[in-house]
Structure 1
């Protein structure tokens, strides 16, 4: 896959597709010398996942549900019960929300629209703290993610990287790309996000400068991040990215697999063609699919 991407990138450069924008970096990542060598295991030592507060969060981690509290009965010390006054009939109860479903899977990377499986996403970062390395189905270390969803709530999902490299940034999330001009994505912009390890951000919230992420941890370059960006299709098992802009507007993004400076990494953008012409990078479109763990 890397050879194919590299070959196509050379052709693209020869055809003059690279169009530099004044004041904007043309490389999707910073110079390699800015990336620190990270010992993720040492960084994660003693770090515990935040305690799940809801049953949905507990299901995502394979934990038992919280037992319902039994209401305490109070004795009536003031004598027998009094008959209450008559009231209007109560409104009909709304249908109960769908119960959450717990899911755990590997992530298959498939070329789009051809549909050829490239491999499984690896439980590893590149030198910039980004996800994107792809391994074969026989590799012993594909990434495992867990999440919970209900049929009436299939977006703004948090995915926990069960065997991710960094327990300090345990969510399979996104951060603003190094060469993006702002934190906002759109179908008329070449801005992009990268897929990284993050701390948790509230669903539906705009990009957070407070959320920790593995790209910033590695490069010391602050970028905003979001964790609850995933949209799940229980029929096709597809996982897609829906970013929330600074004004609260959600934007659906296309996912691409890039290779630059010997680093494979996933990006997502609102306009793949403009992204490619802007940065001169050949990044094939891919689909991420939840598949049973190997």
Structure 2
């Protein structure tokens, strides 16, 4: 008998509790009961927890850029090796055919993807003045045109900037380079005065051991009267040795 009475009492309590649980807050206030706490969307039945709510792993930090240091190796259009850039006391131009102690050493920083224009800085300059390397004049390069722009040590200039006047005779661009982290090739991308990027070929004149940039190497050579002034295309590569 006592067990029966106890069972009935428990059932009655559960029934009352269940009924109270279904009351709205207004009904609970009318009966002098405390209001229920609000239910948030993530606590409702059928709501899928988000990765944040489920304690997802923190986001991965971006990969930092990478800095390279070495010498610039000059190769012919057919892949033959000429040598490294010469560290002249008067500036940067030409290939070093002497001791490796006279090679120019450089440093630059690129994203891990290798994309984007970069500056290249000389880190053992034998010359005075700015220590970046790039273009030092402001002619317009274009297909069908024999014009050329000079190569040398320059001030640092903004990415995509046309030539920046420096002193009475120079107009510099430094951020003209791209680097391929797979092949280690360095390519030049000169920006004309009008702000448009020009197709740019690195040219070498063996007659006076000079390096400069042209937009059309065929047009440049066709405009030369002296065969000694003919040029050939060359490519730059980063050499990590030495």
Cα deviation code 1:8-28 (max 9, x no counterpart):
xxxxxxxxxxxxxxxxxxxxx
Among candidates 81, 97, 113, match of residue 135 of structure 1: 97
* Structure richer in strand, relative to its length: 2
User: Residue 242 of structure 1 aligns with which residue?
Assistant: 189
In the TM superposition, residue 252 of structure 1 has moved relative to its aligned partner by 2.9
After TM superposition, list the pairs within 5 Å mapping 1:131-280 onto structure 2.
131-135=93-97, 139-152=100-113, 154-176=115-137, 183-209=139-165, 211=166, 222-260=169-207, 263-280=208-225
Count of residue correspondences: 184
TM-score normalized by the length of structure 2 = 0.68
Distance 1:131 1:125, change over 3 A: farther
Structure 1 position 118 matched with structure 2 position 82: yes
Structure 2 unmatched runs, 5+: 1-49, 51-58
Q: How far apart, in 2, do the equivalents of 1:130 and 1:167 lie?
A: 11
Moved over 6 A (4+): none
* 1:140 partner SS: helix
In the TM superposition, residue 196 of structure 1 has moved relative to its aligned partner by 0.5
TM-score normalized by the length of structure 1 = 0.56
Check whether the contact 1:185–1:270 (CA below 8 A) recurs between aligned residues: yes
In the TM superposition, residue 135 of structure 1 has moved relative to its aligned partner by 2.5
Check whether the contact 1:191–1:270 (CA below 8 A) recurs between aligned residues: yes
Cα deviation code 1:249-273 (max 9, x no counterpart):
112311111145xx32111111000
In the TM superposition, residue 149 of structure 1 has moved relative to its aligned partner by 0.2
Check whether the contact 2:114–2:181 (CA below 8 A) recurs between aligned residues: no
Q: How far apart, in 1, do the equivalents of 2:184 and 2:154 lie?
A: 23
Q: How far apart, in 1, do the equivalents of 2:96 and 2:150 lie?
A: 15
| Larger-Rg structure | 2
* 1:279 partner SS: coil
Q: How far apart, in 2, do the equivalents of 1:96 and 1:228 lie?
A: 27
- Larger RCO, structure (CA 8 Å, separation 6 or more): 1
Q: How far apart, in 1, do the equivalents of 2:141 and 2:61 lie?
A: 35
Check whether the contact 2:85–2:92 (CA below 8 A) recurs between aligned residues: no
Q: How far apart, in 1, do the equivalents of 2:182 and 2:136 lie?
A: 28
Q: CA RMSD in A?
A: 2.6
